[in-house]
């Protein structure tokens, strides 16, 4: 049975949660392998809307074991708030597993995130201020706090003290803020130890054993390809590996075990935060797309920037992730347009460029080259097969497939769990 990776193929908010949720009945484990509560998934089940931030989408599927992998950074307060909210709505949360090696977001990480972002002024990156970047920085600087550290008060205090040695100087002398108290921070973290203990496991061992036993494991990325710390629009990126390679490092499952890589992509494009965005629409057309698509952040409520479909980005995502399939979402949002522009290449200083520029400076100056496709101006939310779609909607999908570097195996035509057209099975043998 397969190991499947689901990643965002644009700048996030593509509908990965819905895609993962739809696969839930065919998988045994769903693993979040990167990021933290700096992004969110909205999943609609039987007309009920669930907003997930830190938890894997698989927690909504009965019988699925949801896993928070070692590559995730965990805000314990957010974790328990989210769990309590789901439990109050009758969701079974008892199967959740958390890697003992996942790093913890401490209160000083959140403080540093907010004050350092303000300090940047015009050079702001557009972070969510939730402490994600500083926690990953601590991890790489080897002064991070891990889940397993919560179970030894003496070790925990030593680690907090070591982490704050330089941070307090920075907070006081550079940012003019109050120093964080070692004892208070230690007590804050220890307060969660016994609550989280039953959930903690050697998830690397459990996931590999599950694959050995023929079970299906789905790896769910937070953020997206264009926000990946290595392959995204640096420095306007997240602090983790949001591409398919991150599934291996963030879970402890080797690359030879991955069978399929699914990229989730909208029928148009959005992004949140600062940074380049070649097809961005800053006029009333962009606002109309935002309103029609409900393009507001699940985690922050921030309005998303909107633009037309960008095939250059799609081809890039297919390449760096090794995609086997695309899942396209929100095709129904485009139903009101007589003509729909599609970006097929960039104009960079008078030169036509069909692949992602290697230079970030060139990407900043990229202007979209559009092909115009006919719209269909029909409601498609009821369609459940490709043949039911209007001819021009089918032509739009087929054209995008031909220029995006990968087959489009499923198409979302509405927010509900069943509002999906499946062209090719996403789980082998399902």
**Distance of alpha carbon 146 from its chain centroid, rounded?**
22
Is 131 annotated as a binding-site member?
A: no
Instruction: Let me know if 41 is a catalytic residue.
Output: yes
Distance of CA 420 to the CA centre of its chain: 20
**Three-state DSSP state, 234:** coil
> Known binder of ligand: residue 15?
yes
* Residue 159 appears among annotated catalytic residues: no
Is 13 annotated to bind a ligand? Reply is yes
Catalytic residue among 103, 139, 159, 231: 139
413 in a known ligand binding site: yes
Q: Helix, strand or coil for residue 9?
A: coil
User: Is 65 a known ligand-binding residue?
Assistant: no
215 is in an annotated binding site: no
28 is in an annotated binding site: no
Instruction: Catalytic residue, from 26, 28, 32, 41: name it.
Output: 41
89: alpha, beta or left, given left = phi > 0 and alpha = psi -120 to 50? alpha
Out of 13, 28, 138, 149, pick the active-site residue.
13
Phi, psi of 306, deg, nearest 5:
-125, 155
Rounded CA gap, 373 and 343, in Å?
11
Q: Is 414 annotated as a binding residue?
A: yes
Residue 78 labelled as part of a binding site: no
Spatial distance between the Cα atoms of 137 and 129, rounded to a whole number of angstroms: 14
Count CB atoms within 10 A of the CB of residue 292: 17
| Active-site annotation holds for 231 | no
Q: Check if the beta carbon of residue 71 is closer than 8 Å to that of residue 240.
A: yes
| Residue 159 annotated as binding site | no
Residue 93 sits at the vertex; the CA angle it makes with 91 and 99, to the nearest 5 degrees, is: 150
237 is in an annotated binding site: no
Which stretches within 241-293 are classed as H helix?
A: 245-249, 284-293
Q: Which residues contact residue 129 at a Cβ distance below 8 angstroms, ignoring those fewer than 6 apart? A: 110, 113, 114, 117
Q: Is 223 annotated as a binding residue?
A: yes
Residue 331, annotated as binding a ligand: yes
Distance from C-alpha of 56 to C-alpha of 35, rounded to nearest angstrom: 11
Active-site amino acid positions: 13, 41, 139
Binding site for GTP: which residues? 12-18, 40-42, 304, 330-332, 412-414
Binding site: which residues? 12-18, 38-42, 128, 142, 223, 238, 298-304, 330-332, 412-414
Binding site for IMP: which residues? 13-16, 38-41, 128, 142, 223, 238, 302
Binding site for substrate: which residues? 298-304
């Amino acid at each position: 049975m397969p190991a499947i990776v689901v990643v965002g193929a644009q700048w996030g908010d593509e509908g990965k949660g819905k895609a993962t949720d739809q696969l839930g009945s065919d998988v045994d484990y769903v693993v979040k392998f990167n990021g933290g509560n700096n992004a969110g998934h909205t999943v609609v089940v039987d007309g009920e809307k669930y907003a997930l931030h830190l938890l894997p989408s698989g927690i909504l599927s009965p019988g699925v074991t949801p896993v928070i992998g070692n590559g995730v950074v965990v805000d314990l307060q957010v974790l328990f708030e989210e769990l309590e909210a789901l439990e109050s709505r009758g969701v079974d949360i008892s199967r959740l597993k958390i890697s003992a090696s996942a790093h913890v977001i401490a209160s000083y990480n959140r403080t540093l995130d907010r004050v350092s972002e303000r300090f940047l002024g015009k050079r702001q990156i557009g972070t969510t201020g939730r402490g994600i970047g500083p926690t990953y920085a601590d991890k790489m600087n080897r002064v991070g706090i891990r889940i397993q550290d919560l179970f030894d008060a003496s070790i925990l205090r030593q680690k907090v003290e070591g982490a704050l040695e330089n941070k307090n100087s920075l907070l006081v002398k550079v940012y003019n803020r109050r120093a964080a108290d070692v004892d208070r921070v230690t007590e804050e973290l220890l307060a969660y130890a016994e609550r989280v203990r039953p959930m903690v496991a050697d998830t690397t061992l459990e996931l590999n054993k599950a694959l050995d036993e023929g079970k299906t494991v789905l790896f769910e990325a937070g953020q997206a390809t264009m926000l990946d710390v290595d392959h995204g629009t640096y420095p306007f990126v997240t602090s983790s590996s949001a591409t398919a390679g991150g599934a291996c490092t963030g879970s402890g499952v080797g690359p030879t075990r991955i069978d399929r890589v699914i990229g989730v992509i909208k029928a148009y494009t959005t992004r949140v935060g600062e940074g380049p965005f070649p097809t961005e629409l800053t006029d009333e057309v962009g606002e109309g797309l935002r309103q029609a698509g409900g393009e507001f952040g699940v985690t922050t409520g921030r309005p998303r920037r909107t633009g037309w479909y960008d095939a250059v980005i799609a081809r890039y995502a297919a390449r760096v992730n090794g995609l086997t399939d695309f899942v396209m979402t929100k095709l129904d949002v485009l139903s009101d347009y007589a003509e729909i522009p599609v970006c097929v290449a960039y104009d960079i200083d008078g030169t036509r460029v069909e692949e992602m520029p290697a230079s970030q400076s060139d990407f900043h100056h990229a202007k979209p080259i559009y092909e115009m496709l006919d719209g269909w101006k029909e409601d498609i939310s009821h369609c459940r097969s490709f043949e039911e779609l209007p001819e021009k909607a089918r032509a739009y999908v087929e054209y995008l497939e031909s220029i995006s570097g990968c087959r489009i195996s499923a198409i979302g035509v509405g927010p509900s769990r069943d509002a999906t057209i499946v062209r090719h099975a996403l789980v082998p043998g399902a």
